[in-house]
Structure 1
Amino acid sequence: MRLRNIPGAKDAIASSKYVVQEPEKQRGVWSRIFKNNNPIHIEVGMGKGRFIMDLAEKNPSVNYIGIEMYDSVLLRALQKMEEREQAGTLPENLVFLRMDARELPLVFQEG
């Protein structure tokens, strides 16, 4: 997939209700985001998000976090979430992080 610089992508990500800003502040307390204590599954390098969105829709008792480091790719996932919201099929158990996976220990505790 060719990555393109999309004007406005950073601003759209920063203002999206689907993206957790400053995820390191949620370390150990992700239940505050999801408002439940369901298990959390993550997908590193989620791309445009179709796979994780389908998983979240099929498994409402599991919380999902999609991780993507490229703004242009994450923006496409956000657009898909908006489409699902308009269609009434938005998974409530899914959020996104814009980060490098090498920083996972700063955001998640072991276990």
Structure 2
Amino acid sequence: MRLRGKKGVRELLEQQPQLVVLEPEQHKGKWQQYFGNDRPIYVELGMGKGQFVSQMSLNYPDVNFIGIDMYDELIHRATEKVQEKREGQVGRSNIALVRANVEFLEKVFADGEIERIFLNFSDPWPKKRHARRRLSHSHFLDKYQQVLNDKGELHMKTDSETLFESSLNSFAEYGLQMRNISLNLHRDGVNEEHVMTEYEQKFHSRGMNIHRVEVLFGAETIRQYRAAKQS
């Protein structure tokens, strides 16, 4: 999603260093220092206007959240969403909005630095020749495997049936354990446990199915999952 640029947006972002990070490479390996605690770090890749990540940061105050997007205009929209939900609170909180390209994720985070990745309604890139651009392609799975820790997970939601099918195949071919696969997340009504994105609200209101899966990367998470299945 690309928005028409507004004059002065970059300056507005530069005035919010407690919330916006424009040069994230400087924090690689030091994100817990940035937040000032040792809580787990969850990252949304392609946060759009920030509804999901801002609400998640309120719902889970014991987790640090990072929303990533590559466009200043979207980051600005996300700052407005955070401020709206936090009623104008200032100062460091458990959320950061980062300008970065997912293609260079390993330059933003050190090995094992984050615990969870969210892919919400990513661009499906439906043409076969664009498959490598899908955020569930093995090209990106290599990066996720690198930056996720022993409890690492990836949670994905999409309205695209073709993207979901290709993603499940990609995860399986990579040898990843999956759980809680849903072809219609809100079949029995909106699940209040799942924070909805702007796209999700729109698609759900049109009667479209929301597909979701949790993918386990971390050795400890996989161990716990298998132990629970055997008990």
Partner AA of 1:7 in structure 2: K
Q: Distance in 2 between matches of 1:56 and 1:78?
A: 13
For residues 13-92 of structure 1, the aligned pairs below 5 Å read 13-17=13-17, 18-86=19-87, 92=93
Q: Unpaired runs of 5+ in structure 2?
A: 113-231
- Shift in Å, 1:44: 0.7
Q: Percent identity?
A: 38
Partner AA of 1:100 in structure 2: N
- Shift in Å, 1:82: 2.5
Higher strand share: 2
Q: Unpaired runs of 5+ in structure 1?
A: none
Residue-by-residue CA offset, 1:22-61 (whole Å, 9 max, x unaligned): 2112111111111100110100100010101111111111
1:73 counterpart SS class: helix
The answer to whether the Cα contact below 8 Å between 1:53 and 1:91 also exists between their aligned partners in 2 is no
Partner AA of 2:46 in structure 1: G
- Shift in Å, 1:110: 1.9
Q: Taking structure 2 as the reference length, what is the TM-score of the superposition?
A: 0.44
Residue-by-residue CA offset, 1:64-97 (whole Å, 9 max, x unaligned): 0000111111111112222234355x99210011
The answer to whether the Cα contact below 8 Å between 1:63 and 1:94 also exists between their aligned partners in 2 is yes
Q: Distance in 2 between matches of 1:91 and 1:59?
A: 16
Partner AA of 2:103 in structure 1: R
Greater RCO, CA 8 A, separation 6+? 1
Partner AA of 1:47 in structure 2: G
2:20 counterpart SS class: coil
**Equivalent residue, structure 2, for 1:6:** 6
Q: Distance in 1 between matches of 2:82 and 2:92?
A: 8
- Shift in Å, 1:107: 1.1
1:66 counterpart SS class: strand
1:86 counterpart SS class: coil
The answer to whether the Cα contact below 8 Å between 2:6 and 2:73 also exists between their aligned partners in 1 is yes
**Equivalent residue, structure 1, for 2:122:** none
| Structure with greater Cα Rg | 2
**Equivalent residue, structure 2, for 1:94:** 95
The count of residues paired between Structure 1 and Structure 2 equals 110
Change (3 A) 1:2 1:98: closer
The answer to whether the Cα contact below 8 Å between 1:40 and 1:64 also exists between their aligned partners in 2 is yes
The answer to whether the Cα contact below 8 Å between 1:47 and 1:77 also exists between their aligned partners in 2 is yes
